Structure 1
């Protein structure tokens, strides 16, 4: 288990000792001053419909959940049914703006717009070493692994498209293996070994 703690040295040392006192804990290693490899996994579901429809999509209503009332004859059964449906949606979901209508696009224009958004998201994901793991009619899921700072930067770049969901694993670290070199001053200092020497071997798991 990796725990990220930010604070003064005394607070961190106190937290380390309290963790060591827990019965299920075998050992606690502090990697604050150790060269480590840091990675974080991100799964993000991003809208490809555009920001005009993001609000409705985020509320799980979809862009076409409310019936279109344009072009219907006043007083006709179809017009009355559409008006009643819109009013009912407004009463059930107070946050729905029933008077707002996103720009209506032809099927061909909507399809081209979706593919443009999809291509843009895929390009950004590739620049960060990510990949598309799922594509649906109105959203795409991106998988990305990197440092926490790169994950934050990726989310900032794709936020204009509309982030529907995001799941992050949290930071995972592993100490780097020291590099041995016959040249004087070129070898890495093995600080991890010094930390392991101060540990009580009886606290470590079997094997």
Structure 2
């Protein structure tokens, strides 16, 4: 089962490494991890996407709480969440195919952010499935490079918050 963990941590060196190591020691593959400043000065929010059963994820949450720099762990999987990912994709594009590619990215609310002599760079945000669908439509033009941020997520305003503070 897919799980999204939101982990509020002190913004200190090596915290990311300790959190990732702890999850890896439990034999979980991290599908994605994103980290950035939070609403509180000095704190960062990590959003970790992984797979595992409910019992094991509870154990991972308990172990995360034991880390000194972890302030709060929230399993967003049980809540109604807003999740997004940022995608940059560089596509082969001759001047003749640019209008066609533009027509593909427009319904995805994506935008062309760079134009080169033989390529376009497209920026898109959304759920993973939406971005995957756009990539598949762009594939015939020749994808040169892809960069993805991984999932970032927050519980919706009316979600029940299952957060445990340490």
TM value normalised by structure 1: 0.56
Instruction: Specify the alignment match of 1:115 in structure 2.
Output: 95
Aligned to 1:164: 144
1:34 CA drift (Å): 0.1
User: Highest Rg: 1 or 2?
Assistant: 1
For residues 87-166 of structure 1, what are the structure 2 equivalents within 5 Å?
A: 114-166=94-146
Identify the range of structure 1 (12-21 vs 1-10) with the bigger mean alpha-carbon deviation. Answer: 12-21
Matched, 1:2 2:47: yes
> Helix, strand or coil for the counterpart of 2:74?
coil
Question: How far apart, CA to CA, are the structure 2 residues paired with 1:175 and 1:155?
Answer: 27
1:11-160 equivalent positions in 2, closer than 5 A: 11-48=56-93, 114-160=94-140
SS at match of 1:191: coil
SS at match of 2:144: strand
Q: Does the 8 Å contact 1:43/1:142 carry over to 2?
A: yes
Deviations 1:10-60 (A, max 9, x none): 221122122222121111101111000011000011111xxxxxxxxxxxx
The higher relative CO (CA closer than 8 Å, separation ≥ 6) is in 1
5+ residue gaps in structure 2?
A: 1-45
Residue correspondences, number: 121
Q: Give, in whole Å, the separation in 2 of the partners of 1:8 and 1:38.
A: 21
CA distance in 1, matches of 2:128, 2:55: 25
C-alpha contact (below 8 Å) 2:87/2:131 kept by paired residues: yes
> Secondary structure of the residue that 1:11 maps to in structure 2?
helix
Task: Please give the root-mean-square deviation of Cα atoms over the aligned residues, in Å.
Answer: 1.2
Maintained 8 Å contact 2:95/2:118? no
| 2: CA distance, partners of 1:140 / 1:162 | 11
Which one has a larger percent strand, Structure 1 or Structure 2?
Answer: 2
Take 2:114 and 2:137, find their aligned partners in 1: how far apart are those partners? 19
